[in-house]
Amino acid sequence: MTIPMSPDTLIMTAVSILVLPLVGFALMLFFGKKLPRQGDWLETSLITVVLGLALIVLAQKLLNYHDDIIALNFTWVDMHNVPGIGPLKIVLGFQVDNLSAIMVAVVALISTLVHYFSIGYMQGDVRYSRYFAFLGLFSFSMLMIVLADNFFLLYVGWELVGISSYLLIGHWYEKKSASNAAMKAFIVNRIGDVGFFIGIAILYQTFHTFGLREIFEGIRGGHLPYGSEGWLTAAGVLVFCGAVGKSAQFPLHVWLPDAMEGPTPVSALIHAATMVAAGVYLVARTFPMMTADALLVIAYTGAITAFISATIAIAQNDIKKVLAYSTISQLGYMVMALGVGAYTAGFFHLVTHAMFKAGLFLGSGSVIHAMHHALHHQGDHQTDPQDIRNMGGLRTKMPITFWTFVIYTLAISGIPLTSGFLSKDEILAGTLAFGGLSGHVLIPIVGFLVAGLTAFYMFRIVIITFLGDHRDARRLEHIHESPRVMTVPLIILAVLSIFVFYSFNPFGAADGWIARAMERPESVTPASVAPATNHVFEQALHHAHLPAMGLSLLVATLGMLIAFTTYYWKKISADRVAESLKPLHTFLSNKWYFDELYNGVVVEGVLVLTRALRWFDNTIIDGVVNGAGLLTKGISFISGKFDSGVIDGLVNATAYVSGFAGLLFRKFQTGKVQTYIVFAVLSVMIFYFVFRLV
């Protein structure tokens, strides 16, 4: 393992990591149904190979090429001189740096675990092979995003994960709500992508390249978009728009809760661990080009998102919805971390969150699977297997699911000895440092508040679902622990949620391999608009570390205690609190009415425009067409009149003249000899006198 792999081999391994899932997708799509067991073994074994290669690449990179960037570039298109544009050359390629290597490993790991879990969860599904094919497509797309070294391939992968998400959310497309959710996800994503596209366009126009390294070099050299720092900030914010859409940040967060219509393993893979992390990855990737203003926008967006979704989560009863809002909230945390400059912390949280959030979703999948099974046994098709109010006491029948779920909850709440504690702690320290340096104190306040809320709603779920007594004792008898293909991934993820894999120090990750691998890159923006330098920030971070840890422990414990007091020891009645704060409770459980707002404003707005255009088309365009028709009719009418009047008139006149002449000349034929004698004499006279003939 420590024998160094040459850089070429390393990058080629990375490319094969990228290509294998695509091959799997193609094979599954065309041949899946005909293979035994519909080919799940094919796709799963391919992704396991990918995982193995990914771990090898990660190890090789961190051990032998720790601070290098290994890249592979090729010229895709080279049109030497396009009239009007100039030289047009598009160079694409892939790179392996620490960020990519760790992301590849995370994506491969979660994808592999989800593949195994799906073999159990999706058993007997109506479109089994298609599901695995799309998992392959998604894996390919996500790997493309993290391995691309240029905006072009990144955007291609970006759109592809959007499509994969659409296809997988709408897996059970017979259900109207599922297909609606799939469309909603894609459309809302697309809105963010418009901003992203404009940002890329600005950068390309300025630097005539899509390559990230080249763009950073250009900015460092003082070359700014349209020569102004303002435009650089704008470009940064526009690129962030893509992240807002993809990572479900406010205001484009509305698609993620609806995306829970998809199968739970899909939610685990895409909407918890990887696709939504793509936005965070993007911010991390483009971090050097973000000005201080852009980062401020990013920080506040993250903070607002974290706050809003945490408040909604405490009022939800569907287990997957709570997890969805929790995801949005944690993504807000990551984005906020990157915005305040806590680069390492933000990325670290991405990795740890991927583990325990995927675990939470798979665990909830395990619970839902068991509930389905039990309800089916009872012939009950009405009760919602995802509603926590129908659960309770599952701890006794599903021990593995329970204990792993507890570990994930501890991690997300930031309780010591978990990975989540380390990463969340770093973020909160970062927000404190930022607050101290810049005076934006709202951000750390929100950070700690949300930490408390997170602990509260997560333990609420644990208590209601697993502890206490089940609603229906007979149903409880039918509930069993899930099969090994489903529980083994849970165990693996639980193990990975413990601190020891990231740092040997349970109270600080600063010396861990991840912190050393993911040092915050230097900003390339001009000094006038740059964020605090690494040095200044690190100093502030150092001072904020201890207060942050103390405070975060305090709020987490408080949240946990309140949850237990309300739901386990039942000292506070949750229902009475909800009653007394009814308007607030309604506001929260209706998700701050965002969907209603967007429906009323955006959707209605578009429909109004549609109606206006339809009026225009029917009245004016058709009017013109009809008018043309009427004009032709008029012309033909005139022409007809002309034909019958003038032409026929001429013909008739000719006939009349002939007739008249005939009438005239008929007089010669009198039938009387005497007349003829007179004509003869007259003729002779004419001949003699006029013509001098005779």
Partner 1 sequence: MESSNTFFGEFLAWLPNVQLAHFLIVSAILFALGIYGIATRRNAILVLMGVELVLNAANINLIAFSRYRGTNLDGQVAAIFVIILAAAEAAIALAIVLNIYHRFQTINVDEISTMKE
Dihedral-angle region of residue 468 (phi above 0 means left; psi in -120 to 50 means alpha; beta otherwise): left
Q: How far is the CB of 693 from partner 1 (least distance, A)?
A: 20
CB nearer to partner 1: pick between 662 and 671: 671
CB nearer to partner 1: pick between 500 and 677: 677
Q: How far is the CB of 689 from partner 1 (least distance, A)?
A: 13
Rounded Cα distance, 163 and 182, in Å = 9
* Per-residue contact flags (x/-) with partner 1 for residues 616 to 655, judged by CB under 8 A: ----------------------------------------
Q: How far is the CB of 672 from partner 1 (least distance, A)?
A: 7
Kind and range of the H or E run holding 684: helix 673-689
Tokens 């519909």 correspond to 38
CB nearer to partner 1: pick between 473 and 673: 673
Helices (H) and strands (E) counted in the chain, each on its own, are 29, 2
Q: Is 63 in the site for partner 1 (CB under 8 A)?
A: no
CB nearer to partner 1: pick between 603 and 678: 678
CB nearer to partner 1: pick between 546 and 684: 684
CB nearer to partner 1: pick between 226 and 687: 687
Residues numbered 661-690 forming contacts with partner 1, rule: CB under 8 A: 671-675, 677-678, 681
Q: Which two tokens stand for residue 318?
A: 């569907």
Q: Which two tokens stand for residue 659?
A: 């007739």
CB nearer to partner 1: pick between 628 and 678: 678
Q: How far is the CB of 636 from partner 1 (least distance, A)?
A: 50
Residue 123's contacts (CB-CB under 8 Å, 6 or more residues apart) are none
Dihedral-angle region of residue 249 (phi above 0 means left; psi in -120 to 50 means alpha; beta otherwise): beta
Q: How far is the CB of 685 from partner 1 (least distance, A)?
A: 10
- Burial class (CB within 10 angstroms; exposed 0-12, middle 13-18, buried 19+) of 292: middle
Residues numbered 152-181 forming contacts with partner 1, rule: CB under 8 A: none
Q: For residue 93, what are the β-bridge partners?
A: 73
Q: How far is the CB of 673 from partner 1 (least distance, A)?
A: 7
Residues numbered 261-320 forming contacts with partner 1, rule: CB under 8 A: none
Q: For residue 150, what are the β-bridge partners?
A: 211
CB nearer to partner 1: pick between 81 and 669: 669
Question: What one-character-per-residue DSSP string does 14-78 give?
Answer: HHHHHHHHHHHHHHHHHHGGGSGGGGHHHHHHHHHHHHHHHHHHHHHHHHH-TT--EEEEEEEEE
Q: How far is the CB of 661 from partner 1 (least distance, A)?
A: 23
Rounded Cα distance, 444 and 594, in Å = 25
Q: Which two tokens stand for residue 90?
A: 């598009």
Rounded Cα distance, 449 and 690, in Å = 136
Q: How far is the CB of 633 from partner 1 (least distance, A)?
A: 54
Binding-site size for partner 1 (CB under 8 A) equals: 8
CB-based contact 169:259 (threshold 8 Å): yes
**CA Rg value for the chain:** 39
* Per-residue contact flags (x/-) with partner 1 for residues 181 to 200, judged by CB under 8 A: --------------------
How far apart are the two ends of the chain, measured CA to CA in Å? Answer: 144
CB nearer to partner 1: pick between 9 and 675: 675
Query: Most distant CA pair in the chain: distance in Å?
Result: 156
CB nearer to partner 1: pick between 45 and 675: 675
CB nearer to partner 1: pick between 381 and 672: 672
- Burial class (CB within 10 angstroms; exposed 0-12, middle 13-18, buried 19+) of 324: buried
Q: How far is the CB of 676 from partner 1 (least distance, A)?
A: 10
Binding stretches for partner 1 (CB under 8 A): 671-675, 677-678, 681
